[in-house]
Structure 1
Amino acid sequence: MNLRYWTAPFLPKNGLMLDQNMKILIVSYDVRAASLAASYRARKFCKYLSLKGFDVVVLAAHSDPSLGGDDLQGCTLVQVDDNSRRGKFRFITTRIFGLPDPSIYWLKSIKALLKRRPGTFSDVDVIFVTSPPHGIQKVGLFLSEILRKPLVADFRDDFVTNHRIKWITPIHKISATILEKSVVASSKYTIANTDAVRARLAGRHGPHSDKVVTIPNGFDFDDNKWKSNNKENTSGCITYVGGAYGGFAVQAMECIAKQIAAHGRQKKWRIVTAGPGNWSVSEEYQFWHHYGLVDVNTAARLVGTSGCLILLMPPGEQEPSGTVPLKAYQYLASERPIVFFGERGSTTDLLSQFPGTFSFEREKIETIVDWFDANEKDFNRCYPRVEGFQYDFSLLTDSLAGLMRD
């Protein structure tokens, strides 16, 4: 079966039939709004499943006191703290002995909860586990077995063949391979967030390949309410909103700033950046303003007032890449020009579906201002992308709900 998320193939022709009695347990290690990309997918599925009439219970190790913001309103939160990594000694030992990763120790706390309150999740109809950390997939296997309920496993990133995971020992990778095999074999469906990752999972687990499907990441238009009031000047504004990627994003934007200064283009181009990490902008770049970590509304304003959005893939990606930065979907929804630097693969495939997107190898950053000057007509404008936007999280949730009801 080749599930394509935008067709929601498991839904009736007259739309999603709400089942007020269906109860879904969503297991996510982190649902804090402040965790940004680490919790975004989980929170949006929680939000829209609840809005569509499902009874949603959220099991998490980390959450906001306010239930993670508006996204979890209407959901029941069960927070089970993961105490295994408190203290320096425990942090080190859990990294060494946690197979395949330290999050596996969270299962101990969950077992302790069920020993005290054995009926906590007894009335759920389906279990949905979204990772990383991928060790929590063992929580799904455990709950599925004791509750005798179907499991839907969601891999937001590749697991065993993820080249960005640094396995401490070969035993850790062997443990990961065993866990992945068990999850794919035991789950009702296994979800990947790109077709490239889905193909890898299906290829490794041939007998169960028909159960491996794609539901990508997306964007919640409720996070972009500001857009309709956009009246700010976007002229010459080069914007990056996102993480520092271990300093790579800082270096990339500094490279662009140096070119602007060297070419005497300070009056033509300006730089705006926002996001966590160690950003120290030199005082000589008066045309560069860094906002630091900002809230959702401010991020939407900065993206929506950009003349050109910079999208970065950090070094180390293997081509063809199976990764799409979560920020790509907000950028697309803003209808602003996007300039991407990185390997070809899932991100370039996504961007190529839409107008006003430009993709380059990472090395192009070193001369990109010359290209900006030569192609200025392509910036400071909007490109129509929102109508029929298939990466709307409300629509993606319809596909997930269809899997659960199948």
Structure 2
Amino acid sequence: MKKNVLIVTYYWPPAGGPGVQRWLKFVKYLPEFNVNPIVYIPEHANYPLIDTSLQADVSKDLTILKTPIKEPYKLARLLSGNKVTTISKGIITESKKQSRVERLMLYVRGNFFIPDARKSWVKPSVSFLSNYISKHDIDTVITTGPPHSLHLIGLQLQADLNIKWIADFRDPWTTIGYHKELKLTPASQAKHKQLEHQVLNAADAVIVTSNPTKTEFEAITTKPIHVITNGYDTVKTEQIVLDKKFTLSHIGSLLSKRNPKILWRVLSDLVKERKDFAEDFQLNIIGSIGEDVLKSLEKFKLDGYINNVGYVSHQEAITYQKQSQLLLLIEIDSKDTQCIIPGKLFEYMVSNRPILAMGPVGSDVEQIIKTTNTGQYFLYTEYNGLKREVLKYYEAFKQGTLQSHPLGLQKYSRRSLTETLSKLL
């Protein structure tokens, strides 16, 4: 008999972006490992990104529970227009360049909606799920955040019903990069810390996506913490023809602080120094991009080489990955981002295209790229090495030999990761 597991998640198709992928894929494969997933999601959620193509991964046999959610971002959008949309996507303008409206919205978001803007969904969800769990054979609940308010649903259900509760953290809580941008008062910061401590010490088990996050949480709780990374799934595409140009493609959001000026400088210098490079080079930006990043590219006179595609479906993103010559993986240069492993890394790794990654010292991304032989990783200070590597890739492109030679990728497949999760369940 299959074990019934209730999964509480905010992001679910038709939501787009990286937040939806993790549990969409776990749910897809869990039935193969004697687990029957039941998914609880908000009704009429205000998702910042939509990708209807992901609905193809949702089984018709899956039980999906829904209750309405009040979304403050809907009202905020009426008052501020596009600003709230970019903030909800995680694109926050540098403090010194923020408008009065942006500063006010960030202050309200940080201090009046703790832990986040979906906190009003907690109480009705607990009421609905308590009744459902009592009538069905469910003894395990999984909550996944962000939004971290969903962990408060698990916290209350555990207290009321004495069920097993697992808290899954796709990102950290109080050390995530944007947390510092919310203009928190000392009291609000203390409240976040208190809730984080309460959740980590009440959950029967905690799942994280990286080793640095595990280390961070081990200083807060003695509860078992398991690292289950994100991964890749097999996606069928039509016959792929590589780009004729030397395309460097970044897929996903380029936040304001995710702005590798040293890379822009390298590319700008190569454009000036080599006529052939200037003729062949193209920078593909697939996804949302911050104004600060665009201005930096203009400053380095690279705006004429940009193909600014914007947001595309997951299926289209996979096609861009496989046809690009070189894939860019850019993370903010901060200690806080050592624990961030973008979900796209694993899809990059199976695209057969080399990865050029940049980020902080001590990142898990560097170790994964190194052990899988899927590309090169650089710090924000390595101009000479970065320039040599771009030229090396370019010469291989001219010779028609540019490709990746990956090793040991199978353990990062969504199915293998789901098997690991099933053993924990």
- TM-score, normalized by the shorter chain, greater than 0.5: yes
* 1:137 partner SS: helix
Question: In 1, distance between residues paired with 2:257 and 2:338?
Answer: 21
For 1:98, the equivalent position in structure 2 comes to 113
Change (3 A) 1:95 1:105: farther
**Structure 1 pair 76/246, CA: closer, same or farther in 2 (3 Å)?**
farther
Correspondence 1:199 to 2:215: yes
Q: Is the Cα contact below 8 Å between 1:332 and 1:385 reproduced in 2?
A: yes
Give a deviation string over 1:312-344, Cα, whole Å, max 9, x none.
Answer: 0124x1178222122211111112111111112
Name the CA shift for 1:199/1:239 in 2 (closer, same or farther; >3 Å): same
Does the aligned pair in 1 maintain the 2:141–2:154 contact within 8 Å?
Answer: yes
TM-aligned CA distance change 1:56 to 1:384, over 3 Å: same
1:374 shift after superposition: 4.5
Corresponding position of 2:82: none
Query: What stretches of structure 2 of length at least 5 have no aligned partner?
Result: 80-104
Equivalent residue of 1:107, what SS?
helix
How many angstroms apart in 2 are the aligned matches of 1:104 and 1:392?
Answer: 33
Letter in 1 for 2:321: V
Distance 2:193 2:272 in 1: 51
The alignment status of 1:304 with 2:322, answered yes or no, reads yes
Q: 1:361 to 1:121 in 2, by over 3 A?
A: farther
Q: Note if 1:77 corresponds to 2:64.
A: yes
- Read off the aligned partner of 2:172 and give its amino acid letter: D
Measured after TM superposition, the shift of residue 291 of structure 1 is 1.9
Paired residues of 1:320 and 1:344 also in contact (CA < 8 A): no
Aligned to 1:276: 288
1:213 is aligned to 226
Whichever residue aligns with residue 316 of structure 2, its letter is: T
Code of the residue aligned with 2:248 in structure 1: it is I
Partner SS state of residue 201, structure 2 = helix
Determine the structure 2 residue equivalent to 1:292: 310
Residue 107 of structure 1: how far off its partner (Å): 0.7
- What's 2:201 paired with? 185
Q: Secondary structure at the match of 1:152?
A: strand
Shift of 1:36: 0.9
Cα distance in 2 for partners of 1:95, 1:58 equals 28
**Any residues of structure 2 matched to 1:4-403 within 5 Å, and which?**
19-20=1-2, 22-50=3-31, 52-61=33-42, 62=45, 69-73=55-59, 74-83=61-70, 85=72, 86-88=74-76, 95-111=110-126, 113=128, 118-119=131-132, 122-123=135-136, 124-166=138-180, 168-206=184-222, 208=223, 211-222=224-235, 225-226=236-237, 229-233=239-243, 236-246=246-256, 248-249=258-259, 255=265, 258-263=268-273, 264=275, 265-277=277-289, 287-315=305-333, 317-318=334-335, 321-345=338-362, 346-364=364-382, 368-369=386-387, 371-374=389-392, 376-377=394-395, 380-385=401-406, 388-403=409-424
Q: Give the letter aligned to residue 274 of structure 1.
A: I
* Cα separation, 1, equivalents of 2:231 and 2:282: 29
Q: Assess if the C-alpha contact under 8 Å between 2:282 and 2:306 holds in 1.
A: yes
Cα drift, residue 388 of structure 1: 4.7
Counterpart residue type for residue 216 of structure 1: T
Query: 1:84·1:106 contact (CA, 8 Å) conserved in 2?
Result: no
Instruction: Tell me the alpha carbon deviations over residues 219-243 of structure 1, each in whole angstroms, 9 at most, x when there is no partner.
Output: 1123xx228x333346622221111
Could you say if the C-alpha distance between residues 54 and 114 of structure 1 is closer, same or farther in structure 2, counting changes exceeding 3 Å? closer
Provide the C-alpha distance between the structure 2 equivalents of 1:79 and 1:307, rounded to a whole number of angstroms.
43
- Whether the 8 Å CA contact 1:275–1:294 is kept in 2: the answer is yes
Report the Cα offset of residue 148 of structure 1: 2.8
Letter of the 1:273 partner, please give it.
Answer: I
**Do the aligned partners of residues 52 and 356 (structure 1) sit closer, same or farther apart at CA in structure 2, a change above 3 Å counting?**
closer
Q: Distance in 2 between matches of 1:311 and 1:226?
A: 22
Distance 2:152 2:309 in 1: 39
Mean Cα deviation higher: 165-174 or 145-154: 165-174
User: Match of 1:6?
Assistant: none
Q: Deviations over 1:354-394 (max 9, x none)?
A: 22411111244698455422454555533332665211111
For residues 365 and 80 of structure 1, what CA distance do their matches in structure 2 show?
52
Secondary structure in structure 1 of the residue aligned to 2:174: coil
Q: Which amino acid aligns with 1:78?
A: L
Q: Deviations over 1:125-159 (max 9, x none)?
A: 31011111212211011122333321111111122
* Structure 2 contact 372–409 (Cα < 8 Å) conserved: no
Q: CA RMSD in A?
A: 3.3
Provide closer, same or farther for how the CA distance between residues 205 and 152 of structure 1 changes in structure 2, counting only shifts above 3 A: same
Q: Residue 231 of structure 1: SS of its match in structure 2?
A: coil
Counterparts of 1:266 and 1:358, CA distance in 2? 23
User: Is contact 1:122-1:147 (8 Å) kept?
Assistant: no
> What residue identity is the alignment partner of 1:82?
I
Distance in 2 of aligned mates of 1:307 and 1:154: 35
Contact 2:51 2:313 in 1 (8 A): no
TM-score if structure 1 supplies the norm length? 0.80
**Displacement after TM superposition at 1:215 (Å):** 0.7
Q: Sort the Cα spacing of 1:199 and 1:325 in 2 relative to 1 into closer, same or farther, 3 A.
A: same
Equivalenced residues, count: 376
Consecutive unaligned residues in structure 1, runs of 5 or more = 1-18
Match of 1:3 in 2: none
